[in-house]
A and B are shown apart, each in its own frame.
Chain A
Amino acid sequence: MKRSQTFFAAGTLFIAGIFSAAQAAELVVWHAYRGAEKSAFEKVAKLYETKMASKGIKVTTLAIPYDAYADKISASVPRGKGPDVFIYAQDRLGGWIESGKTVEPIGFYMDDATRKQFLPGMLDAMTYKGTVYGLPLNYKSITLIYNKALVKKPPKTSTELVNLAKKLTNAESGRYGLVYWYTNFYFHAALMNAFGGHVFDKDGKLVLDSPETIASIKQMMKWYKQDGIMPTEPSEALVSSMFNEGKAAMVFNGPWFIGEISPSVDYGLAVLPVIDEAGKKPMRPWLTIEGAYVSASSKQKELAYDFAKFLTSEEAGLILALEGRQLHTNATIYKDKRVSGDVVLKAFHDQLSSAEPMPNRAEMTMMWSPATTAMNKVVKGNATPEAALKEASDAIQESINALRKGR
């Protein structure tokens, strides 16, 4: 695996320059997939090996449990260990870049064709302070999922939603029209964005306690308290249990949820409703976008980039979408009949028209706990939305200031 100094300028020819023909280069790729996603991913890796057969490149994939993934990257990559390419959502990207020695910038390698192949917004999630650090691979967002036995026609507006949900709610026997993890800020973001709220403004200033965000929390409280269409103390486990037992008519949830739905439930998907109270603006959920990053400690960065690029190609995209059930970022695959004919893939692709990437700033991590506390306080009636958000903002700002300390 000795790196030579000679590179070639164009195409993939350079790889021949890095390795003499006899040496088999090993490209190590880390991911957090299992099940169908994992098999599809491994298939794509094999395909890359076949394509590169003349150069004798071997791709070794390693699945790592999600709960250990970020720690494993942070422990190994800055110390010169770890993979050549790794895959992770954009939420940790900012942190890794700020700490350094983890993610390699790849803007230099990117050509226009590659930049243009992605769905709108995808590359933004991989861009940090004007520098591109990864190739977007797939996206996730929440959408409206409903039980067809209970909901004939999914609601298009919040008024329709409330009217329908009220009919389907019977609190005493534990049946609710709408169930989602509304105290979790990730899920709440869809409402917040509808009202035009943000966590950070364009310059990175914290604006969590803006009037827009407050209005969005009031809207959520209206659904919960006044309309009474949502159960208390929601959690991921509760949402899936209730939906699977026919106790939740509609849920807001993401593609990951599809695999958890019991075969006995006939479900449909629709775009999240328009919020009448927010001036008929649609709910805009956050997009979580997984990217393929080149490791800063990789000894073969060009090759690693080439593999990442292959992952985002149409050819790989079709396999990852159809077999791995991923929402791939390559725009062209959605023109394929097999993809556009797939109810689930199509539904989430439709939701993309009103969705926005979750911020990839390092400071985002500091937001979750205080925001969740604020949401819980409001829901339990211990604080007004204004007071709760103010308190959360102050706490977050304090943490941010501790990080942004001058030298």
Chain B
Amino acid sequence: MNFAEHLKRSAVLGLAISILITLALSTWMFRAEESDLRLQHRQRLAVMHANALALAVANTNVEETGKRVSDIQKLDPRIESVIIVGGMQLVASTRAEDAAPRQLGREEKALFDLSDQIRTARETNRGEDVVRKKTVQIEEKTIGHIVVTVPYLSDGQFAGILQMKFNTTGPDVSGADIFSPAPDSYTLPALLFLAALLAGSLFRMSTERKVDFTKLLALGVFLLIALFFQQQRLERLERTVTQANQAIAANYLAAAQQYDRLGYLALPRDNSSVNLWDTDHYQRPLGLIAADGSVSAKTQAAYFDKRSGFLKRILGAIDLLGAAVLLMFLYGYAARTFAALKEHADAYTYVAPAMIGMLVLVFFPFAYGITLSFTDTTLFNEFLPFQDRLIGWANFKAILGDVNLYERTAGGIIWNYQNFYWTLLVTVAWTISNVTIGVTVGFLLAMALNTEGLRGKAIYRVLLILPWAIPNYITALVWRGMFHPQFGVINQVLQMFGMQPVAWFDGVFSSFFTGVATNGWLSFPFMMVVILGALQSIPKDMYEAAEVEGADRWQRLRYITLPLLRPTLIPAIVLSVVWTFNMFNIIFLVSGGEPGGANEILITKAYKIAFENYQYAYAAAYSTVIFMILLVYGIFQTRITKATESF
């Protein structure tokens, strides 16, 4: 039995590969999640201590501040150093080399800027009445050594920043060891993998039947193994989360007792009060630990559910992927791919260079854009971590779900030009009219220029491609000028023949016409050249034969020219549609979408959303919608015209 045949008959390879993929990806996800959890835990600990100290030194004078800072720092060996900066002043410092208070040195610009940044963040959050700027800054250059910066207040006003160097590498107060990664045991995955191999080697599939017992069994075994493994790791993760939270609570109690002893704690310590030490990076209390240090199991479970929601979805996707891989093997696609690669090696070699360039330079940006469309990225948050920006389908719902297309008023229907469906309608009309004009004019001219014995063909040809040759930035300006109501040439011509001048950019239709006229003018030379070239592929003897058989000119066009032009014309038309759909320049330069944005097309809208409104993700979603529309069109068009199959 050769390899391809073996692939077809046995389930072992399919099960092995799908299990391997699923286990590897799941493990990778869990590791990422656990390492993220540890990171958050370290930072939460550091933020808690910094918050505590910042609250303790609020409203104290410079001397008292210095004293309190050094007292606290001495009590906890994990606090390596603390500095307090207000404006250009180093107010307090526990570092031996600093003689605080003193002026900041030139190399300490970063501290000044950080203080200013946190001040602005607080003011922005207050001024805009939303919380969007972090007031806690964390830096962790080497793992475990955290530099956390929080604001400190005086009389409720921002007075400066407190920066604490916190070392989490030593033993924890609670005695729990959250920080070192749990050793990954490979016994379970290895056993599961072996089980898959064993199960797979027992199965022999029938290649004829679509569904047979073996296939179902293989799928069942796969799902059993994958889900069992993931459930195991999820439980372990939940234990770690609980452990971490208890460790924070223990740390809180220990620290609070020290503050109590020194008389620096000015917080209520009962279980109904909010714990102000344990906050997120926006200094909002997390609410996982009460002010008396008690931990509620309910809030914690809710917290874990929220935290693991994303992970669970990813795990589901991984299972689906694994199942898909398995099905590929079970139904012989893998075998066929393998055979095809071997059999058609030379064809793939011919295609590969162009395809690889395409995949790297086009599909990576695609992936970037499509990923972006599932976030809420804007100018204001573009450098936040990806997970913080992820929002799912909301952008698409906002775009497609806005059906407020028109309004009925006493004066009749008022169209809402900002609505997506209006813009889509305009875009479709724009595309159809442009491509029709481009192809018709291009075809007529190409036919004319292909006439035998016509004089001056070379001159016509060169003059007729000029609209394509000259940069359209300037010709668009000229066209815009030609449509000026008073000084424009077009209205002058109308008046020459006794007609009334038209205010071109005032009406929806006339303004639409200006864009179509300009773009039609710009695009017919390309079509003309394409058709001219395509006409050369039609052998002249076919016409001669047709003429002999008495076919008239129309019949020759209908039965020879058009069918033989099809293979080159269809791709040119399909691509023209795609390009025109996304033709940005002309609308922008000629009518500017006037009147009132009625003549914007989808792409100019997307541009405005991205570069004027800075809503990058929303613009990406717009672009993705455009892409999907074109994709549906492209598949539909190539199916019905069989453009890829022309002989």
Q: At the interface, yes or no: A174 with Cβ under 8 Å from chain B?
A: yes
B105: which A residues are within 8 A, CB to CB?
A: 7, 9
Give Cα A254–Cα B388 distance, bound, in whole angstroms. 45
Q: At the interface, yes or no: B615 with Cβ under 8 Å from chain A?
A: yes
Give chain A nearest CB distance to B494 CB in angstroms: 16
Contact A402 B106 (CB under 8 A): no
Contact B106 A9 (CB under 8 A): yes
Contact B486 A232 (CB under 8 A): yes
Contact B477 A237 (CB under 8 A): yes
Q: At the interface, yes or no: B251 with Cβ under 8 Å from chain A?
A: no
Give Cα A9–Cα B88 distance, bound, in whole angstroms. 14
Contact B618 A108 (CB under 8 A): no
Give chain B nearest CB distance to A136 CB in angstroms: 19
Give Cα A14–Cα B109 distance, bound, in whole angstroms. 14
Q: At the interface, yes or no: A238 with Cβ under 8 Å from chain B?
A: yes
Q: At the interface, yes or no: A377 with Cβ under 8 Å from chain B?
A: yes
Give Cα A47–Cα B271 distance, bound, in whole angstroms. 69
Q: At the interface, yes or no: B319 with Cβ under 8 Å from chain A?
A: no
Give Cα A191–Cα B544 distance, bound, in whole angstroms. 74
Give Cα A108–Cα B107 distance, bound, in whole angstroms. 11
Q: At the interface, yes or no: B124 with Cβ under 8 Å from chain A?
A: yes
Per the 8 Å Cβ criterion, residues 353-395 of A in contact with B are 362, 365-366, 368-369, 373, 376-377, 380, 382, 395
A232: which B residues are within 8 A, CB to CB?
A: 485-486, 503
Give Cα A341–Cα B123 distance, bound, in whole angstroms. 46
B484 CB contact (under 8 Å) in A129, A233, A380: A233
Contact A204 B614 (CB under 8 A): no
A406: which B residues are within 8 A, CB to CB?
A: 130-132
Q: At the interface, yes or no: B475 with Cβ under 8 Å from chain A?
A: no
Given A233-B485, A399-B615, A373:B116 Cβ within 8 A: no
B614: which A residues are within 8 A, CB to CB?
A: 95, 362, 365-366, 403
Q: At the interface, yes or no: B500 with Cβ under 8 Å from chain A?
A: no
Contact B487 A402 (CB under 8 A): no
Contact A238 B615 (CB under 8 A): no
Give chain B nearest CB distance to A92 CB in angstroms: 10
Contact B596 A377 (CB under 8 A): yes
B481 CB contact (under 8 Å) in A95, A237, A402: A237
Q: At the interface, yes or no: B556 with Cβ under 8 Å from chain A?
A: no
Per the 8 Å Cβ criterion, residues 99-143 of B in contact with A are 104-107, 109, 112-113, 116-117, 119-120, 123-124, 127-128, 130-132
A108: which B residues are within 8 A, CB to CB?
A: 88, 104, 109, 112-113
Q: At the interface, yes or no: B366 with Cβ under 8 Å from chain A?
A: no
Binary contact track B127-163/A, C-beta < 8 Å → 1, others 0? 1101110000000000000000000000000000000
Give Cα A131–Cα B124 distance, bound, in whole angstroms. 13
B487: which A residues are within 8 A, CB to CB?
A: 174, 238, 241
Binary contact track B373-391/A, C-beta < 8 Å → 1, others 0? 0001011111110001000
Considering residues A174, A382, A406, which has the most beta carbons from chain B within 10 angstroms of its beta carbon? A406
Q: At the interface, yes or no: B270 with Cβ under 8 Å from chain A?
A: no
Give Cα A369–Cα B612 distance, bound, in whole angstroms. 8
Give Cα A109–Cα B119 distance, bound, in whole angstroms. 19
Q: At the interface, yes or no: B608 with Cβ under 8 Å from chain A?
A: yes
Per the 8 Å Cβ criterion, residues 226-269 of A in contact with B are 231-233, 235, 237-238, 241
B613 CB contact (under 8 Å) in A107, A365, A405: A365
A407 CB contact (under 8 Å) in B119, B123, B282, B612: B282
Given A9-B106, A174-B487, A204-B127, A101:B594 Cβ within 8 A: no
Contact A403 B618 (CB under 8 A): no
Given A107-B116, A108-B113, A376-B595, A403:B612 Cβ within 8 A: no
Considering residues B120, B380, B597, B611, which has the most beta carbons from chain A within 10 angstroms of its beta carbon? B380
Give chain A nearest CB distance to B320 CB in angstroms: 31
**Number of interchain pairs (Cβ within 8 Å):** 121
B127 CB contact (under 8 Å) in A203, A237, A402: A203
Given A382-B595, A407-B282, A131:B116 Cβ within 8 A: yes
Give Cα A406–Cα B132 distance, bound, in whole angstroms. 5
Contact B120 A129 (CB under 8 A): yes
Give Cα A403–Cα B119 distance, bound, in whole angstroms. 20
Q: At the interface, yes or no: A130 with Cβ under 8 Å from chain B?
A: yes
Q: At the interface, yes or no: B506 with Cβ under 8 Å from chain A?
A: yes
A80: which B residues are within 8 A, CB to CB?
A: none
Give chain A nearest CB distance to B114 CB in angstroms: 10
Contact B132 A405 (CB under 8 A): yes
Q: At the interface, yes or no: B418 with Cβ under 8 Å from chain A?
A: yes
B104: which A residues are within 8 A, CB to CB?
A: 108
Per the 8 Å Cβ criterion, residues 559-605 of B in contact with A are 594-597
Contact A376 B485 (CB under 8 A): no
Size range of the chain B interface in the assembly: 35 or more
Q: At the interface, yes or no: A56 with Cβ under 8 Å from chain B?
A: no
Contact A369 B608 (CB under 8 A): yes
Considering residues B131, B505, B506, which has the most beta carbons from chain A within 10 angstroms of its beta carbon? B506
Q: At the interface, yes or no: A211 with Cβ under 8 Å from chain B?
A: no
Give B133's nearest chain A residue, CB to CB.
A407
A196: which B residues are within 8 A, CB to CB?
A: none
Contact B597 A403 (CB under 8 A): no
A130 CB contact (under 8 Å) in B120, B384, B594: B120
Q: At the interface, yes or no: A121 with Cβ under 8 Å from chain B?
A: no
B120 CB contact (under 8 Å) in A5, A131, A403: A131
B388 CB contact (under 8 Å) in A8, A78, A407: A407
Contact B109 A362 (CB under 8 A): no
A368: which B residues are within 8 A, CB to CB?
A: 612
Give chain A nearest CB distance to B590 CB in angstroms: 12
Contact B485 A399 (CB under 8 A): no
Give Cα A107–Cα B109 distance, bound, in whole angstroms. 9
Binary contact track B439-450/A, C-beta < 8 Å → 1, others 0? 000000000000
Contact B382 A99 (CB under 8 A): yes
B113: which A residues are within 8 A, CB to CB?
A: 105, 108
A380: which B residues are within 8 A, CB to CB?
A: 503, 506, 595
Per the 8 Å Cβ criterion, residues 49-90 of A in contact with B are 78
Q: At the interface, yes or no: A342 with Cβ under 8 Å from chain B?
A: no
Give Cα A377–Cα B614 distance, bound, in whole angstroms. 25
Contact A8 B505 (CB under 8 A): no
Contact B380 A99 (CB under 8 A): yes
Q: At the interface, yes or no: A404 with Cβ under 8 Å from chain B?
A: yes
Q: At the interface, yes or no: A98 with Cβ under 8 Å from chain B?
A: yes
Contact B618 A402 (CB under 8 A): yes
Give A95's nearest chain B residue, CB to CB.
B379
B481: which A residues are within 8 A, CB to CB?
A: 237
Contact A98 B379 (CB under 8 A): yes
Contact B380 A98 (CB under 8 A): yes
Give Cα A301–Cα B131 distance, bound, in whole angstroms. 31
Contact B595 A403 (CB under 8 A): no
Give Cα A402–Cα B608 distance, bound, in whole angstroms. 14
Give A234's nearest chain B residue, CB to CB.
B484
B608: which A residues are within 8 A, CB to CB?
A: 369
28 contacts across the A-B interface (CB closer than 8 A): A5-B107, A95-B614, A98-B379, A98-B380, A105-B113, A107-B116, A108-B104, A108-B109, A131-B116, A204-B127, A233-B486, A237-B477, A238-B487, A362-B614, A366-B612, A369-B597, A369-B608, A373-B596, A373-B597, A376-B595, A377-B596, A380-B503, A402-B613, A404-B380, A406-B131, A407-B132, A407-B282, A407-B388
- B interface with A by C-beta (< 8 Å): 88, 104-107, 109, 112-113, 116-117, 119-120, 123-124, 127-128, 130-132, 282, 376, 378-384, 388, 418, 477, 480-481, 484-487, 503, 505-506, 594-597, 608, 611-615, 618
- A interface with B by C-beta (< 8 Å): 5-9, 14, 78, 95, 98-101, 105, 107-109, 129-131, 174, 203-204, 231-233, 235, 237-238, 241, 301-302, 362, 365-366, 368-369, 373, 376-377, 380, 382, 395, 399, 402-407
Q: Please give 19 more A-B residue pairs, beta carbons under 8 A apart, in addition to A237-B477, A405-B380.
A: A7-B105, A78-B383, A98-B380, A100-B383, A108-B112, A109-B109, A129-B124, A204-B127, A233-B486, A362-B614, A365-B614, A368-B612, A373-B596, A376-B595, A402-B378, A404-B132, A406-B130, A407-B131, A407-B388
> Which 8 A-B residue pairings sit nearest by Cβ, starting from the closest?
A406-B130, A399-B613, A7-B106, A108-B109, A108-B112, A129-B120, A99-B379, A404-B128
